Structure 1
Amino acid sequence: MSTTERPRILVVGGGYVGLYAARRILKKMRYGEATVTVVDPRSYMTYQPFLPEAAAGSISPRHVVVPLRRVLPQAEVLTGRVTHIDQDRKVATVEPIVGESYEVPFDYLVVALGAVSRTFPIPGLAESGIGMKGVEEAIGLRNHVLEQLDMAESTTDPDIRRKALTFVFVGGGFAGAETIGEVEDLARDAAKYYPSVKREDMRFILVDAADKILPEVGPELGKWGLKHLQERGIECYLSTSLDSCINGHVVLKNGLEVDSNTIVWTAGVKPNPVLKEYGLPLGPRGHVDTAATLQVQGTDYIWSAGDNAQVPDLAARAAGVENAWCPPNAQHALRQSKVLGDNVVAEMRGFPQREYRHHNMGAVAGLGLHKGVAMIVLGKLKLKFKGRLAWYFHRGYHGMAVPTFNRKIRVLADWTLGMFLKREVVSLGALESPRDEFYEAAAPVTAAAAAKPGPGKLPPPEPAKVAAEHAAAAPIAPAERAS
């Protein structure tokens, strides 16, 4: 970490808000005006709306992430976690990947930690569940699903086969509906290469505690999305929840019990719990309490936005909705980050802050290849689309929203190739533990074996063993080859 006498703007988190706010600040800032430092445990930002397509193999996982150091060449990027913030001293404690923790002083602070999966104390969930918050989980889910097809094709045990071909998804919002739609597409395509596995042998189950799915696109499109998934053979159980899943034995509140090796958890998000260690004012659900200017309440040098912030929804409040807050989605995070970046620079120069006020553009969701729903808002007009046209809107919006021109081109190339080439259905499960095979081949040396014959001292070889080894290594005579 470099030291500087210039004011330091510390950005905690390199996700949507962290990346876009840092880019905005660097763009608006004069040369040498301040130092921008970004701290995140990962060296990249993940464009989460593309995770379902990455899990289905429609997009390369590398094209879903954006390397922070490449996109922010003028910033200082530290790979680690901010574990504590001392507001009196204006110092943050950074815990790097390796080594001792150290302190980073700051003059202005941006808190953009985002959210983590919202879970409940359900027996077996921690051991059996698969999340969908990171690209690693998307890759893991893809490999896991294909491995289940391999298992079903290779076994003669009907119970093992049935458990392998049962897929349970908990959560019917954007993440859950899009993921089950994409994964069902993947499994349907992959089944063509497994003689004994048909789509009819598979069981896909979607569970949600609400009485509808895809609430973000409205009730009409939500009902269509539900009907569409059911027509594809996906069982949808609404107004119920997961009771337990010990050893893959899934029990729902409505009494349904199934055995499954695949339990995908997408039942919402919650603010990063480390926020409690920062001494910031928090709302009832753990979000950082901010003003409409995105400044943390009671401060003039700390800002927050995105999934970890409780930002007033001025547009909804102007329409008469009391205590309305901006929902945690990518649309708000991208817009808030620009206002946040402008406000940081304005505060640094002594100018007034600008309030965040949004105009809803609508919502789009993909339910697999050539399938989706979309609600486009044009002023007071709401246009609703479903099917292939909605899927085009979904890809068009996110294709433009994914950061950097480099990633836009790579994603477009993936989509274009997908129009002419068949989907890859190979499982690379060994990626999750690449050293296992070498570890087994290297045969760890035990203490007893290491104690003799001693370093640099090899025991004399046995004459009979040497003769046998020489005979095995001797070249084969031509006559012997002919015989």
Structure 2
Amino acid sequence: MSTTERPRILVVGGGYVGLYAARRILKKMRYGEATVTVVDPRSYMTYQPFLPEAAAGSISPRHVVVPLRRVLPKAEVLTGRVTTIDQDRKVATVAPLVGEAYELPFDYLVVALGAVSRTFPIPGLAEQGIGMKGIEEAIGLRNHVLEQLDKADSTTDEEVRRKALTFVFVGGGFAGAETIGEVEDLARDAAKYYTNVKREDMRFVLVDVADKILPEVGPKLGAWGKEHLEGRGIEIYLQTSMESCVDGHVKLNNGLEVDSETIVWTAGVKPNPALARFGLPLGPRGHVDTNEKLQVQGTDYIWAAGDNAQVPDVIGRKAGNPNAWCPPNAQHALRQAKVLGDNVISGMRGFPQGEYSHANKGAVAGLGVHKGVAMIVMGKMKFKIKGRLAWYMHRGYHGLAMPTWNRKIRIFADWTLAMFLKREVVSLGAMETPREEFYEAAKPSPPPAAASAAPETAKAS
């Protein structure tokens, strides 16, 4: 960590908003005007819309993440967590990966902690559930699913086999519907290489407490998405919740009970709970309360945006809805980050700051290879698209939204190769415990039974 007499702009969080805001600030800032410091427990940003495709093997996991130090070479990147904020002293407490926590003074603060999985106190969920918020979870899910096929193919125990081939997904929003669609595609392709496993042997279950799936694309496309997934043999239970999943025994409140080794939890997100320790004004659901300029209410040196902020929807409020807020999605996060970066520079120089205003352009979702839904908004017109064309739009939009040309090219290269090469179905489950085999080889061998018994024999004689 460098020490400097220049003002410090502290960016807490290196996700979508943190990365883009820091880039914008560095681009607009004069040489030597300030020091930009980014603090995040990971040294990379994850593009979360691509996690389902990474889990299915359509994209290399390394291409879904953007290394912060490479993209922000003029910034100070610290790998750790900001645990507390002292607003009176303008000091943040940073807990690094190793070593003791230390204080870091700042002059301007950007809060971009994002969101975490929203969970409930369901028995067994913490032990059995698999989330889909990070690239590690996507890799783990892929390895886990293929490992279940390996297990089912080689066992003679029908109960073990049935449990291994049952996959339960909780949550029918973008993350849940896209993940189950991609994983079902993966399992269908992989089954071709197994002697004792067919797609008909597998059971996919999607559960949601709402009365529809994919609410982001509207009721008609959501209904089509439900019919499409059901046509692929996926069971969908709406207005249903999971009561428990102890030891993989899933109980739903509609009376259904299944045994499953795979329980994927994508039932929404909530603001990062660390915000509660920052002393910032929070909304009813734990989001940082900001004004139209993305400034935290009651401050003139703190800004927030993205999933951890409740940002007023200026267009919705002008249309007569006083409680309109911007939804937490990548479309808004990208645009908010740019406005936030500009406002930090303006605030630092004492200039007027701009309001964040963006009309919804629609939504796109992929449900597996060549399958998707898209709702495109152009003025007062809405275009509803489904099938292959929607899938192309999904890939095109997110491919271009991926930060840096380095990652854009790698993503499109992955897709191009997939047109000519078959999907990889290799499970690297040993990645979870990479030292286990070496440990078994290196640990001391126990003495032979005959040698250990020899002294007792001699003593007896």
Common topology (TM > 0.5): yes
Match of 1:471 in 2: none
Letter in 2 for 1:418: A
The aligned residue for residue 401 of structure 1 is 401
Partner of 2:20 in structure 1? 20
Segments of structure 2 that go 5 or more residues without pairing to the other structure are 448-461
Q: Aligned residue for 2:456? A: none
Aligned to 1:358: 358
Task: Give matches, 1:127-276, under 5 Å.
Answer: 127-276=127-276
1:140 to partner: Cα distance: 0.1
Deviations 1:49-97 (A, max 9, x none): 0000000000000000000000000000000000010000000000000
Give 1:453's aligned residue: none
Q: Distance in 2 between matches of 1:438 and 1:328?
A: 45
Distance 2:252 2:268 in 1: 18
Give 3-state SS (helix, strand or coil) of 1:247's partner.
helix
Q: Which residue of 2 aligns with 1:56?
A: 56
Amino acid aligned to 1:113: L
Q: 1:352 to 1:445 in 2, by over 3 A?
A: farther
* Equivalent residue letter for 1:121: P
Separation in 2 of the partners of 1:241 and 1:325?
27
Aligned-pair CA distance for 1:321: 2.1
Residue 324 of structure 1 pairs with residue 309 of structure 2: no
Aligned to 1:368: 368
- Secondary structure at the aligned position of 1:79 is classed as strand
Measure, in 1, the Cα distance between the counterparts of 2:18 and 2:353. 19
Which residue of 2 is the match for residue 415 of structure 1? 415
Structure 1 residue 276, shift from structure 2 partner: 0.6
Please say which structure displays the higher CA radius of gyration.
1
Alpha-carbon distance in structure 2 between the residues aligned to 1:440 and 1:101: 36
2:298 alignment partner in structure 1: 298
Deviations 1:97-132 (A, max 9, x none): 000111110000000000000000000000000000
Q: Distance in 2 between matches of 1:386 and 1:350?
A: 48
* CA distance in 1: counterparts of 2:366 and 2:321, whole angstroms: 29
Structure 1 partner of 2:284: 284
Which secondary structure state, in structure 2, belongs to the residue aligned with residue 317 of structure 1?
Answer: helix
How much has 1:195 moved relative to structure 2? 1.3
Identity score, percent: 84
**Secondary structure at the counterpart of residue 88 of structure 1:** coil
Distance in 1 between residues matched to 2:293 and 2:246, nearest whole Å: 46
| Equivalence map 1:434-449=2 (5 Å) | 434-443=434-443
Q: CA deviation at 1:381?
A: 1.1
Say how many residue pairs are matched.
Answer: 447
In 2, Cα distance between the equivalents of 1:422 and 1:432?
25
**Equivalent position of 1:456 in the other structure:** none
Deviation at 1:267, TM superposition (A): 0.1
Describe the superposition over 1:318-377 as per-residue Cα deviations: whole angstroms up to 9, x where unpaired.
Answer: 222231111111111111000000000000111111111111110000000000000111
Partner residue in 2 for 1:31? 31
1:289-331 CA deviation, whole Å, 9 max, x = no partner? 0001000000000000000001111111122223111111111
Between the aligned partners of 2:286 and 2:46, the Cα distance in structure 1 is: 23
Match of 1:416, SS state, is helix
Residue 99 (structure 1) aligns with: 99
Partners of 1:37 and 1:406 lie apart in 2 by 23
> Which residue does 1:388 correspond to in 2?
388
> Partners of 1:331 and 1:28 in 2: how far apart?
22
Q: Structure 2 CA distance, aligned partners of 1:136 and 1:441?
A: 27
CA RMSD of aligned residues (A): 1.0
1:310 counterpart letter in structure 2? Q
Partner of 2:451: none
Tell me by how many angstroms 1:444 deviates. Answer: 5.3
Spell out, residue by residue over 1:361-408, the C-alpha distance to the aligned partner (whole angstroms, 9 max, x if none): 100000000000001111111111000000000000001000000000
Gaps of 5+ in 1: 449-483
- Find the counterpart in structure 2 of residue 348 from structure 1: 348
CA distance in 1, matches of 2:67, 2:217: 31
Do the aligned partners of residues 42 and 32 (structure 1) sit closer, same or farther apart at CA in structure 2, a change above 3 Å counting?
same
4+ aligned runs moved over 6 Å, structure 1: none
Structure-1 separation of matches of 2:389 and 2:319: 31
**Match of residue 313 from structure 1:** 313
Q: Which amino acid aligns with 1:49?
A: P
Taking the aligned partners of 2:262 and 2:203, their CA distance within structure 1 comes to 11
- Residues of 2 paired with 1:59 and 1:387: CA distance? 20
TM-score of the superposition, structure 2-length normalised?
0.96
* 1:407 partner amino acid: R
CA-CA distance at 1:445 after TM superposition? 8.6
Answer yes or no: is 1:117 the counterpart of 2:117. Answer: yes
Q: Which moved more, 1:313-322 or 1:68-77?
A: 313-322
SS of residue paired to 1:3:
coil
Q: How far 1:441 moved relative to its partner? A: 1.0
Alpha-carbon distance in structure 1 between the residues aligned to 2:411 and 2:148: 28
Distance in 2 between the 1:286 and 1:347 partners? Answer: 26
Q: Distance in 2 between matches of 1:135 and 1:117?
A: 14
Shift of 1:179: 0.1
- Worse overlay, 183-192 or 322-331: 322-331
